[in-house]
A and B are shown apart, each in its own frame.
Chain A
Amino acid sequence: MSIAELRRVASQRPKGLPRAARRADERDNKAALVFLLPWLVGLLGLTLGPMLVSLYLSFTDYNLLQAAHFTGLDNIVHMVHDARLHQSLKVTFTYVITGVPLQLAAALGLALMLDRGMRGLTFYRSALYLPSLLGGSVAIAVLWRIIFGDDGLVNDVLGVFGVASRSWVGDPDTALGTVILLHVWTFGSPMVIFLAGLRQIPREYYEAAATDGAGPLRQFRSITLPLLTPMIFFNLVLGIIGAFQSFTQAFVVSGGTGGPTDSTLFYTLYLYQEGFGSFRMGYASALAWLLLIIVGAFTAMNFWASKYWVFYDD
């Protein structure tokens, strides 16, 4: 049965059913509501409610300690002139635009390597997936700080080649790079998805291509890549949304400051500083909504653009 058919059947109202059947139907509905309740309570109490409150607070001067006063568009006007907000946008866009594609490229490369049907695949897959589980954690961010710090491993290795010691997280030119690298390192989730995608490509395509004399590069470009575009699209959308919301790594690596010289001032970090550090929760709420709009716009753009490059083979 096709999806369209299913939908049609599903939308048919149970008119003319015997009364007993209708009662059973009502009972089902009630049961469904009861089962949904835990989720519903969570959605309303923990997501939707606070979101509505935060939307209201966006137009106030709420300072956490006193009742909020409506200030109209003051917060939005302030955004236009807020140099630190602009800096945080610059940092976050740099992070998203370089970090996400690099991470996907790394994930795809490793997935291609693992797809060769080597021995001990499960082990390698798990080992390579591990950073994804750890990467968002505070512990790894602390480790990162140490590795790229003044006495860190990176300096020890570079020292062998005679490169002068420096603190990579303490230099405004390289600090953001270390955080991007941390992001790239957590390629596990997209890699597993790519791996599943690669497994779905029928072998016959490659056999036919090989018979026609296509080399590995040609096969990759004309078979693997086009058939993998739905996976790339999926990873890209999720990757961009996730990257815009990055917080932990930047917070730990910069000690919560976004420094040096605001070079790692991620959007969410600035929002956090304004809200909890400087008691400007009204402004922070407005910033949160701006982020939602930006992420929404990026996602919508992605879906629109997907028409032109994503290929579904069905």
Chain B
Amino acid sequence: MLLKRGTRRESVSMLVAAALTALSLTGCAVGRETGPDRLSRDRVTIRLNWWGAEERQKLTADAVRLFEKKHPRIHVRMEYSDWTGYWDRLATMSAAGDPPDVIQMDALYLSAYADRGALLDLGKSKFLDRGRLPAKLLGTGRYEGKLYAVPNAVTAPGLAVNTTLLDKLGLKLPDTKSWTWSEYEVFAAKVNRVSGGKVAGALPLAGSSALELFARQRGDRLFSDDGHIVLRPETLTAFWNGADRLIKSEATLSRSQLADAAVLPLDQSPLATGKAATSVIFASQLAAYAAASGGDEFILVDLPSGEKGEQAVDSGQFIKPAMYWSISAQTRHPAESALLVNFLTGDMQTAKILGAERGLPAVPAVRAQVAGSLSSEDRRAAEFVESIENKAEGPALAIAPTGANDVEASLTRYGQEVMFGRVSAKDAARAFIKEMADKIYSAG
């Protein structure tokens, strides 16, 4: 191609113009105003976004159909993905100025989105019945005083035990009402021994919820209500030392197996595949583990507490919102979106469809409605969560501070450094706390 001079200069200016257009286009993406807070007379479409597996997809689709029947002017478009992909997608869509209207939210990410103005304040919405939720629970959806998320269901960490597996090995679970960590470790080692190393008796505590529970037993917490990391290094050191004891006493899987299992989806995890007999899980996951194991029987028991024959003062157990519903600050249809959230959390007919798949329903009336039709695992989970609700002493779980939404990844990383002997538990504990504090500081 032989471009003459004039044309070449023209093409250069075109290039610059196009680049500037691209720049301004990206600029436009940020900050769309929220629409008016009243129901539209026209037909509107709102987007509902959630994470979850196939079962949830079916149930939610049914619930949404029912919603559309009751509100013929509102069309709901559903978008969903698995947990990891969900957050990457949500971040990207939000950055592009195209976030979904109704967002399934988690305590790890609530502040990350609320702090940056991405969520709508639901405290004043006329279309949302806030009164039916217990005040303490509703409080877990607040950030800096404003309600950015409505708890949809509750769950609690508990120790899942595969009783089918234990029966096969001819082992009996010790009295779990008053057991200590050392009793648990001895029992776990016995499972490994009796099974000839085929079944691990325990999986080391991992993840921020297990850490929170462990910390509460020691009068400690991971995050404070005002958004700081307050965990004491000694607590974290003891947390990782516990994992180390399990590995050294051959009460769990090998190090490389544990590292491998850390990224496996639920249905391939050691507890689901019968490689481990017990593990800390969320009560709401019990049915999913039972299904993935191919029909093994699972029960939930209290976690051990205290050392050497003496239980801790506080069982450490706490209730956690299994998930929330939030609404994007950029929605054009805040009224319709709030209507949908209200419907998904509190409609009695929907409750029957959704059951306890997202966790034990947060609204007490809905819970009563659902109680009769639960599967045996879900009923066990419900009883377990309710028993904790009745006796939980500690403060409500603090949501992860802004900048700390990757706490799980950091915790796993440092935990593995300790597990593979790269650093001492003590140094890793200090480094982890510092890293979190830095991240929270620089995001604030």
Contacts and interface: CB of A to CB of B under 8 A. Distances in A.
B368 to A, nearest CB: 39
B88 interface: yes
B95 A167 contact: no
B375 interface: no
Contact of B256 (A32, A167, A276, A281): A167
Contacts of B443: 63, 279
Contacts of B260: 149-150, 167, 169-170, 260
Given A29-B7, A170-B256, A49 B422 contact: no
A45 interface: yes
B390 interface: no
Interface in A45-66: 45, 48-50, 52-53, 56, 63-66
B113 A65 contact: yes
A276 B413 contact: no
Chain A, interface size category, equals: 35 or more
B contact patch SS = helix
Interface residues of B, number: 51
Main secondary structure of the interface of A (DSSP, over half): loop
A25 B314 CA distance: 87
Interface centre among A53, A149, A167 (most CB of B within 10 A): A167
Interface string B1-24: 111100100010001001101110
Nearest to A48: B19
B30 A49 contact: no
Contact of A63 (B116, B264, B420): B116
B422 A261 contact: yes
A230 interface: no
Contacts of A156: none
Contact of B262 (A14, A45, A260): A260
A115 interface: no
Interface string A223-258: 000000000000000000000000000000011110
B369 interface: no
A207 interface: no
Contacts of A256: 84, 263
Contacts of B95: 64-65, 281
B205 interface: no
Interface in A272-307: 273, 276-279, 281
Interface of B: 1-4, 7, 11, 15, 18-19, 21-23, 25-26, 30-31, 84, 87-88, 91-92, 94-95, 112-113, 116-118, 254-264, 403, 405-406, 409, 412-413, 416-417, 420, 422, 439, 443
